[in-house]
Amino acid sequence: MADPRPTKLIVDCSTGERTVVELTDEEIAEREAMAAAAEAERVAEEEAAAALQALKDSAKAKLIAGEALTAEEADVLVL
């Protein structure tokens, strides 16, 4: 048995009538594209946060060891 086709609920606010309608191929493709874009954005934000944390950890380790910081590391600490 095939998976059921995704649906949407349409509500007519003036009458309260509710209608469940199957999504068109274009709507399904748009939802899939939006989901892929959201996932890519989530991954990019996660990678940026990890890079920032790595920079902070490096700066902290250098401060503890008495080493000179790079300009980028110093900028992270001054934010």
Q: With 0.85 as the threshold, say if the pTM is over it.
A: no
| 27-74: pLDDT as tens digits | 999 999 999 999 999 999 999 999 999 998 998 888 888 888 888 888
Q: How far apart are CA 50 and CA 56, in angstroms?
A: 10
Domain assignment present for residue 17? The answer is yes
51: containing domain: 7-78
User: How many structural domains does the chain have?
Assistant: 1
Domain assignment present for residue 51? The answer is yes
Between CA 68 and CA 73, with CA 70 as vertex, the angle to 5 degrees is: 105
Domain assignment present for residue 2? The answer is no
- Residue 33 CB contacts under 8 Å (≥ 6 apart), including other chains: none
